[in-house]
């Protein structure tokens, strides 16, 4: 059974008392082609531990407003990361979305 589907979208927040980082991505899923209750990051499952280990540092940096990959990627607010599960790797595109105040 797969924890993720191609095209799944997750949004992390750190505002108004909501901090989805510290729940390991639980309930951050906003779009999927699968059953949300069976997807990691949905309402019932936090992110897979291998995937979380690979991407959490970039998510935390982005939530703090920091540069995710300055000098490595074309845009400093974007990162491509892959979990370390060699038999079922998942590739993530991580983007910091700046909301004007």
- Residues 57-94: pLDDT tens digits? 999 988 888 887 777 778 878 889 998 888 888 999 99
- pTM for the full model? 0.85
pLDDT at 1 over 60: no
End-to-end Cα distance, the chain: 41
């Amino acid at each position: 059974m797969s924890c993720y589907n191609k095209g799944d979208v997750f949004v992390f927040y750190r505002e108004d008392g909501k901090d989805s980082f510290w729940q390991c991505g639980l309930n951050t899923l906003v779009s999927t082609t699968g059953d949300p209750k069976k997807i990691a990051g949905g309402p019932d499952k936090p992110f897979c531990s291998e995937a979380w280990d690979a991407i959490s540092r970039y998510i935390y940096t982005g939530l703090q407003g920091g540069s995710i990959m300055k000098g490595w990627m074309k845009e400093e607010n974007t990162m491509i990361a892959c979990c370390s599960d060699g038999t079922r790797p998942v590739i993530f595109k991580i983007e910091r979305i700046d909301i004007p105040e």
